[in-house]
Structure 1
Amino acid sequence: MKKLYQSKLLLVLLAAFMLLVTACNNEEGSTAEKEGKKDDLLSIDDFASAKKADGEIIDGGTLTYGLVSDTPFEGTLNFNFYQGTYDDEVISWFDESILDADENYMYTQDGAATFEVSEDKKTFTFTIRDNVNWHDGKPVTAEDWAFAFEVLGDPDYPGTRFAEASNVQGFEDYRSGKADSISGLKIIDDKTLQITFVEANPSLLASGIWTHPLPKHIFGDMKVADMESSPEIREHPIGFGPFKVDSIVPGESVVYKKNEDYWRGEPKLDEVILKVVNPSVVTKSLQDGDVDIAVYPTDQYKDNVKALSNVDFLGKIDLAYTYIGFKLGKWQDNKNVMDPNMKMSDVNLRKAMAHAVNNQDVGEQFYDGLRWAGTTVIPPSHPAFHDDSNPGLEYDPEQSKKILDENGYKDTNGDGLREDKNGNELVINFASMSGGDIAEPLANYYIQKWKEVGLNVKLVDGRLLEFNSFYDRLEADDKAIDIFQGAWGVGSDVDPTGLWGSAAAFNYTRWTNEESDQLLAEGISEKAFDEQYRSEVYEKWQKLMTEEIPAFPTLYRSELTAVNKRVANWDVKPGTKLFNDRSQLGVTAEKPEVAGQ
């Protein structure tokens, strides 16, 4: 699982920025409410997912990838340690999962390792291909893979990925110090690793296995506490992917050279340059050919598509959603602990805040239909499990006011703002990230909508928070934060435990619920290999989340990628052959096409 974050940036075009400012300052309602829906909304179905060659692919060449962000990448460049989505993008050019997945997110036999599954579905035997080598020429071994689990389970491990290994037999005993080894790991030979799990569950076949070896010949003598900050991760990381890291400007750019020894075959490109591109200049960077590929802000698309005559746009439904979360406790002793004295502990206050905002309006007016109102916290990217019969907490300001009135939140001094149940001033502190033109007006939109029902909501510190600071403060359970606007990448496996489980570090609300934990456990039980049963379990869970509302989804989202016309063999759809194999990526000309030429 990944932070997003979002996390994949809240961005918008200037016209929408001005529109939203107008809407936010309008006490009588938003533009969408007054004028009705747009009649020219876009759909993700309008876009292809792959860019094939428009001509003959040349030998070699350099391609530039734009990492669209208003903040530097953190630089923790190893799958076992990274936290943010930007580092993930950097890592994905030089390292990869040892297992491939198909378009349905199920593991296949096409990756760097193949596997067999026991009859009881608890024991997997993996065989790493003989030609899979680290960038320094050393073979990727079963011992490397087992070593990664040992690092995740070490008491000094500073990250959160241990949760994704907790189902391995003996892992929890090893992590707690009760055992000297992980009993569920058995090295058969240099290239064969057998992993036995505590429980058989359907998630094991869909990204439920930790698939990122760690080179023991590099890290084996290093203290786990020192690994994350080591030069071997920060300055010259290695993997076994199609490109090698050649040089790094911390937080700004990376130069990769092709890995001639790549196990799938020598890459077509000689070099890839990744550089951070601010969302405010991404359009110009694409027009001028400064970058060949960039995830493009959906909210800038309509105004700029004609000016970007030198690129093609690809699209997919994003495996992510944005949400408003309520702080309900703290992280203590590796678990979430609720505090009944927290300001947002009243479920009725949380429901009233959800009913007060019009997310469909936001999606239509500021994303032209490429984002749309969320209903449940299992998004439609997983249609077998998303409950489309659950309307969520729909926009209904009158219902919001009624809930507040009935539960003692009343304006007792006539200033238009409600006090708490005891008649004391009620100020709700809202944390939201910076990230392009839309970030501030979008936060103000929500603040204004809450004000319209009488709630006094203010930005934490009176400003938007930079990406890294935002997540640092959420993780630390900063008492200055009452509610926050976050985002979550659901990953290929639908299992929501990584965000909403009682022991999930990414559960920044710190909400815990016994019924929720039971349903989440049933959703990954052996019985859940039956898809219908699993769907019914998650339907109950989504209903519970709507009732308890530790958070509510704001927008489901599409993702657009701008690709220069010279680029060949780039596919944004997960699970496809080109998505899994970047060695096929190439260009049809030495230089990028430039708009207007």
Structure 2
Amino acid sequence: MLALTVVLAACSSDKGNNTPSNGGSNGGNNGGEATKPAEDGLYNIKDFKNVKTNEGEPIKGGSITYGLVSDTPFEGILNFNFYGGNPDSKVLQWFDESLLTWDANYVYTNDGAATYEVSEDGRTFTFTIRDNVNWQDGKPVTAEDWEFAYEVIGHKDYNGPRYGQDFTNVEGMTEYHDGKAEKISGIKVLSDKKLQITFIKSNPSLLTGGIWNYPLAKHIFGNMEVAKMSASKEVREKPIGYGAFKVESIVPGESVVFVKNTDYWRGEPNLDKVTLKVINPTTIVQQLETGAVDLISDFPIEQFPDNAKMSNVEYLGMIDRAYTYIGFKLGSWDKEKNAVVPNPNAKMADVNLRKAMALAVDNDQVGKRFYHGLRWNATTLIPPSHPEFHDDSNPGFVYNPEEANRILDEAGYKKDGEFRTNPDGSELVINFISMTGSDIAEPLSRYYVQSWAAIGLNVNLEMIEFNTFYDRVGSKGEDDPKVDVYQAAWNVGIDVNPQNLYGREALFNFSRYASEKNDELLTKGMSAEAFDLNVRKETYNEWQQLMVEEVPVFPTLYRAAVVPVNKRILNYAIGDGTNLYLNQLAVSQDKAFVATK
């Protein structure tokens, strides 16, 4: 993977880059001199830079502490082929990586652990893994390991979130998955380090994240039952990768100690050790000020204004590949068919009810008042981190409670006292779940509940920690029937293709929405004609509008990532295409700088 990206792989585009989340630009600040807000007190992410200023010279060795900011333990599924949540990706990034890297435009390069060539028809890719790419136990990373990852994910007993359209597009994958073939015909091992994959259809996403490129060590997992792999000690307790650092010890859910991988293919890392520990958002400022942590995964944006002048850090910032959203449960997941099953009788099945709820919330004010401009009103489901495809002319849902009331009145949701009833006169109680986390997680969720109450909807709120939350919305294929509406977030992949979040065969399609028009547009966006950039733009603009009309979910906020970095840290950046890698990470002194008042 590109080094030091804030977000890593999980499930889409890069077959791992869309991850459930808890809640680069020019210019910028210098050291502790944080960017000043405008007269209205709002900040602008364009005023930040995404590459750390180097102050001083690197010392030999050294160790740092990395804070994984979370109010809950990380789940501990520490293998790219199986994990599903963003906290685990923060652990994975230190000891493992993808075989391919990408540039600032999200296009695969030949600078990674593997290089590639493409046939004239765009269907066959030939990959060559570099000779010096080895697992951290000394065994070489081979083409068979890469093939083995496809075989495991495509196996009928696989219990992770990866299997979807990008896999079924591989020749012979469906036959293998259905038990009609022992091997995947479209994957050929040409030599120890050379793999060939042939896809059924060429599509524009194959060069921008649509190829799974995380191998699975066959010499470790080869004799293991597929159904038992994700729970094995080789995933949970003694994970292995080929990244810059290797796991020395784990306290499950709490901390990990990494030591440098002297055999790392890009070169021996500068640092000797990295200690990762989970830190509650409520204590992160104290940990930063005292130098107890040097780097962190996420900084609670709402805490930035009061700490913008922290003297021992430099704040980096960028438009995040992420958005928060409200989702409506419209069906369930069929584990046998690996597909969404829409339920026309679901409580939230009426599009009028969903539209009214979207119109009732003022996300422009939420961004300003809760996040000081560093999160802002989201309009469509392709965020501005993908400017070629984000339709900035689409207004999405503009706050309009009067229109929301009119829609509900006309749809037959009559007021019976304080709240409305269903059109048939029965009681309407909507169950809404949201995640715990920062200090404002619950106040924000309660704002939405109050906004819906203002249009006569009786909504019950339940706050849940991260791992349990995603279990209940269906991350393991089991949908909690008590959940009607949920507030969640996506760290989106480098590939703009929305299929793996909103397609009929996408486990991460937690709303369980499906329609023929959605199928048509998602298929067209991945067709041969979509190699024409204008065709693909038009297709995804139409899809963004369809999502506004159908409202299976509606985006609430686009996000800025603002990351404080201790001044002793050298060679660090956030975002894509910076050409800085983890082995280059260094420090200018043994101990972290401490903030001065």
Residue matched to 1:25 = none
Counterpart of 2:233, as a letter, is P
2:557 maps to a residue whose letter is L
The ranges of structure 1 where at least 4 consecutive aligned residues each deviate by more than 4 angstroms after the TM superposition are 3-7
d(CA) in 1 for partners of 2:479 and 2:237? 31
Q: In 2, distance between residues paired with 1:305 and 1:388? A: 30
Aligned-partner Cα distance in 2 for 1:392–1:263: 46
Q: State the match for 2:582 in structure 1.
A: 582
- Matched letter for residue 44 of structure 1: I
- The gaps in structure 1 that reach 5 residues or longer are 11-36
How do residues 31-46 of structure 1 correspond to structure 2 at under 5 angstroms?
Answer: 39-46=40-47
Q: 1:416: how far off?
A: 2.1
Does structure 1 residue 487 correspond to structure 2 residue 489? yes
3-state SS in 2 of match to 1:229: coil
- How much does 1:527 deviate? 1.5
Which residue among 233, 242, 247 is the counterpart of 1:245? 247
Indicate conservation of the 8 Å contact 2:382/2:544, yes or no: yes
Pair 1:386-2:385 in alignment: no
Q: Shift of the alpha carbon at 1:195?
A: 0.6
Q: How does 1:193-208 map to 2 (within 5 A)?
A: 193-208=195-210
Shift of 1:340: 1.1
Deviations along 1:448-470, one digit per CA (max 9) or x if unpaired, are: 001111111111xxx30111111
For residue 341 of structure 1, what is the aligned residue in structure 2? 345
Tell me the secondary structure at the aligned position of residue 463 of structure 2.
coil
Indicate yes or no: 2:307 matched with 1:298. no
Where does residue 151 of structure 1 map in the other structure? 152
Question: Is the contact between residue 67 and residue 277 of structure 2 (CA under 8 Å) also seen in structure 1?
Answer: yes
Shift of 1:575: 2.2
Q: Does structure 2 retain, via aligned residues, the 8 Å contact 1:279–1:436?
A: yes
Q: Out of 12, 15, 22, which is 1:9 matched to?
A: 22
Structure 2 letter corresponding to 1:50: V
Q: Deviations over 1:374-419 (max 9, x none)?
A: 111111111111111111121000000100111111113xx22111
The TM-score with structure 2 as length reference comes to 0.93
Paired residue secondary structure (2:559): strand
Contact 1:9 1:436 in 2 (8 A): no
Counterpart of 1:473?
472
Distance 2:233 2:468 in 1: 23
Residue 7 (structure 1) shift: 4.9
CA distance in structure 1 between the partners assigned to 2:42 and 2:490 by the alignment? 25
Q: Deviations over 1:67-94 (max 9, x none)?
A: 0000000111000011110111101100
Deviations 1:32-73 (A, max 9, x none): xxxxx9712101111110114201100000011100000000
1:268 aligns with 270
| Contact map agreement 1:236 1:245 (CA 8 A) in 2 | yes
Partner Cα separation in structure 2 for residue 61 and residue 263 of structure 1: 20
Distance of 1:233 and 1:343 partners within structure 2: 39
Q: How many residues align?
A: 563
Measure the CA separation in 1 of the matches of 2:436 and 2:18.
11
What amino acid is the match of 1:343? K
Residues in 2 aligned to 1:437 and 1:340: alpha-carbon distance in whole angstroms = 37
Taking a change above 3 Å as real, the CA distance of residues 52 and 38 of structure 1, as seen in their structure-2 partners, is closer
Contact conserved, 2:568 with 2:592, CA < 8 A, in 1?
yes
Aligned residue number for residue 396 of structure 1: 400
Q: 2 CA distance for matches of 1:8 and 1:156?
A: 26
- Asked whether the equivalents of residues 68 and 278 of structure 2 are also in contact (C-alpha less than 8 Å), the reply is yes
| Residue 5 of structure 1, CA deviation | 9.3
* CA contact 1:76–1:233 (8 Å) conserved in 2: yes
Identify which of 357, 369, 373 aligns with 1:369: 373
Q: Which deviates more from structure 2 when the two are superposed, residues 374-383 or residues 159-168?
A: 159-168
Tell me whether 1:283 sits opposite 2:285 in the alignment.
yes
> Deviation digits for residues 100-120 of structure 1, max 9, x if unmatched?
100111100100011110000
Please give the per-residue CA displacement for 1:479-535, whole angstroms capped at 9, x wherever unaligned: 111111011122100000111101111111111011111110111112111111100
Separation (CA, whole Å) in 2 of partners of 1:538 and 1:403: 27
Q: Give 3-state SS (helix, strand or coil) of 1:114's partner.
A: strand
Residues 490 and 496 in structure 1, CA contact (< 8 A), matched pair in contact too: no
* Contact in 2 for aligned 1:6/1:486 (Cα 8 Å): no
1-structure distance, mates of 2:39, 2:156: 54
Residues 408-458 of structure 1: CA distance to partner in whole angstroms, max 9, x if unpaired?
11113xx22111101222111101111121111111000000111111111
Counterpart of 1:33? Answer: none
- 1:553 corresponds in structure 2 to 555
Distance apart, 1:194 and its partner CA: 0.5
Letter of the 2:394 counterpart? N
TM-score by length of 1: 0.93
**SS where residue 84 of structure 2 aligns?**
coil
C-alpha offsets along residues 544-569 of structure 1, whole Å, 9 cap, x if unaligned? 11111111000010111110000001
Quote the offset at 1:293 in angstroms.
Answer: 0.5
Among 210, 213, 233, the residue aligned to 1:211: 213
Partner of 1:357: 361
User: How far, CA to CA, are the matches of 2:397 and 2:575 in structure 1?
Assistant: 31
Letter in 1 for 2:215: P
Distance 2:59 2:39 in 1: 44
Secondary structure (helix, strand or coil) at the match of 1:109 reads: coil
Structure-2 change in CA distance of 1:574 and 1:76 (3 Å):
same
Task: Tell me what 2:33 maps to.
Answer: none
Task: Give the Å deviation of 1:165.
Answer: 2.1
Alignment of 1:86-101 (within 5 A): 86-101=87-102
In structure 1, C-alpha distance between the alignment counterparts of 2:103 and 2:326, rounded to whole Å = 32
Letter in structure 1 aligned against 2:22: L
CA separation in 1, counterparts of 2:183 and 2:316?
47
Aligned mate of 2:232, from 230, 233, 244: 230
What one-letter code is carried by the residue in structure 2 that aligns with 1:305?
A: A
Secondary structure, counterpart of 2:281 in structure 1: coil
Q: For 2:411, give the aligned amino acid.
A: N
Contact 2:10 2:80 in 1 (8 A): no
Tell me which amino acid in the other structure corresponds to 2:480: D
Give the residue type in structure 2 aligned to 1:55.
G
- In the aligned structure 2, how far is the partner of 1:527 from the partner of 1:575? 28
Q: Is the 8 A contact 1:5 1:486 kept in 2?
A: no
The aligned counterpart of 2:433 is 431
Distance (whole Å) between structure 2 residues aligned to residue 225 and residue 340 of structure 1 = 33
Could you report, residue by residue, the CA deviation over 1:238-269 in whole angstroms, capped at 9, with x for unpaired residues? 11100010000100000001011110101000
Taking the aligned partners of 1:530 and 1:68, their CA distance within structure 2 comes to 41
Per the TM alignment, residue 8 of structure 1 is displaced from its structure 2 partner at its CA by 3.8
Consecutive unaligned residues in structure 2, runs of 5 or more: 1-8, 12-16, 24-37
Deviation at 1:148, TM superposition (A): 0.6
Structure 1 residue 9: Cα displacement: 3.1
Asked if the contact 2:134/2:141 (under 8 Å) is kept, the reply is yes
Corresponding residue SS for 1:577? coil
Residue in 2 aligned with 1:596? 596
Deviation at 1:6, TM superposition (A): 6.9
Contact 2:19-2:84 at 8 Å conserved across structures = no
- 2:454 corresponds in structure 1 to 452
8 Å CA contact 2:503–2:509 kept in 1: the answer is yes
Counterparts of 1:302 and 1:160 in 2: how far apart (Å)?
Answer: 38
C-alpha distance in 1, partners of 2:421/2:287? Answer: 49
Aligned residues: percent identity? 58
Aligned counterpart, 1:78: 79
CA RMSD across the alignment: 1.4
Distance 1:531 1:554, change over 3 A: same
Aligned to 1:411: 415
Q: Aligned-pair distance for 1:346?
A: 0.5
Q: Aligned residue for 2:14?
A: none
In structure 2, distance between residues paired with 1:512 and 1:162: 18
